[in-house]
């Protein structure tokens, strides 16, 4: 039991160090040595828990996404508005982590098949959640149409997220609201 607890504590120290480094120096400054030095662990301990520094970074990203998840138990209670709001919250409130996720997804995902696979799998899960919400909100839709709408909505949200990350004056939340069916337009009185 004590060994298990030590493993959990070591894992959390590594993730805390990774989180801290990401916010202080960005992805370029996050090295295995920097993580292990900050966490006060050896490289062997790191590799017992994570296969690579990218794996630790993705875990930090996963935790940030999970922190804003409107349906963390996955029971299908989230609405499109909930999912859009969670996406916006991740991109705006966790902007350093969101920026790093996009850097890894696009930059390294194009050249590293393992990262590409992980990003695609994550995207597919997001599409499934959005499509499921579309079907709950409009049962007349076919699964194919719900999936198509989910893909378009996620592409739009990602584009809005890029704008928000590049321009701090961009109001992503206001624009994202326009994507939700039945939402009142911000251009209306």
Would you give the DSSP letter of residue 51? S
Residues 127-168: tens digit of each pLDDT: 999 999 999 999 999 999 999 999 999 999 999 999 998 898
Give the Cα separation of 118 and 101 in Å (integer). Answer: 11
Check whether 36 has a pLDDT greater than 80.
yes
Would you give the DSSP letter of residue 77? -
E strand or H helix that includes residue 120? helix 113-137
- 151 or 28: which leads in pLDDT: 151
Check whether 69 has a pLDDT greater than 70.
yes
Q: What is the DSSP string of 149-185?
A: HHHHHHHHHHHHHHHHHH-TT--HHHHHHTTSTTPPP
Q: What is the DSSP string of 92-112?
A: HHTHHHHHHHHIIIIIITTT-
Residues 84-106: tens digit of each pLDDT: 999 999 999 888 888 888 888 88
Record the tokens describing residue 38, joined without a space: 């900050």
Its pTM stands at 0.83
Check whether 189 has a pLDDT greater than 50.
no
Check whether 186 has a pLDDT greater than 80.
no
Give the Cα separation of 2 and 171 in Å (integer). Answer: 48
> CB-based contacts of 108: which residues, under 8 Å, 6+ apart?
54, 115
Give the Cα separation of 89 and 68 in Å (integer). Answer: 7
3 state SS of 141:
coil
3 state SS of 15:
helix
3 state SS of 50:
coil
> CB-based contacts of 157: which residues, under 8 Å, 6+ apart?
84, 87, 88, 91, 176, 179
Check whether 185 has a pLDDT greater than 60.
no
3-state helix, strand, coil in the chain (%, to 5): 75, 0, 25
């Amino acid at each position: 039991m004590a060994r298990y607890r030590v493993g959990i504590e070591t894992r959390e120290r590594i993730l805390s160090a990774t989180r801290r480094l990401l916010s202080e120096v960005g992805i370029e400054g996050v090295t295995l040595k920097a993580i292990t030095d900050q966490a006060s662990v050896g490289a062997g301990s790191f590799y017992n828990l994570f296969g690579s520094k990218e794996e630790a970074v993705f875990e930090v990203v996963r935790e940030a996404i999970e922190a804003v998840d409107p349906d963390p138990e996955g029971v299908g209670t989230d609405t499109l508005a909930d999912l859009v709001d969670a996406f916006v919250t991740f991109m705006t409130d966790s902007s350093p982590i969101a920026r790093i996720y996009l850097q890894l997804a696009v930059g390294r995902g194009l050249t590293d098949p393992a990262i590409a696979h992980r990003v695609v799998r994550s995207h597919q899960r997001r599409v499934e959640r959005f499509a499921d919400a579309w079907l709950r909100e409009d049962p007349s839709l076919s699964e194919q149409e719900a999936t198509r709408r989910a893909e378009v909505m996620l592409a739009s949200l990602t584009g809005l997220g890029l704008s928000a990350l590049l321009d701090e004056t961009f109001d992503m939340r206001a624009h994202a609201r326009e994507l939700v069916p039945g939402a009142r337009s911000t251009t209306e009185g």
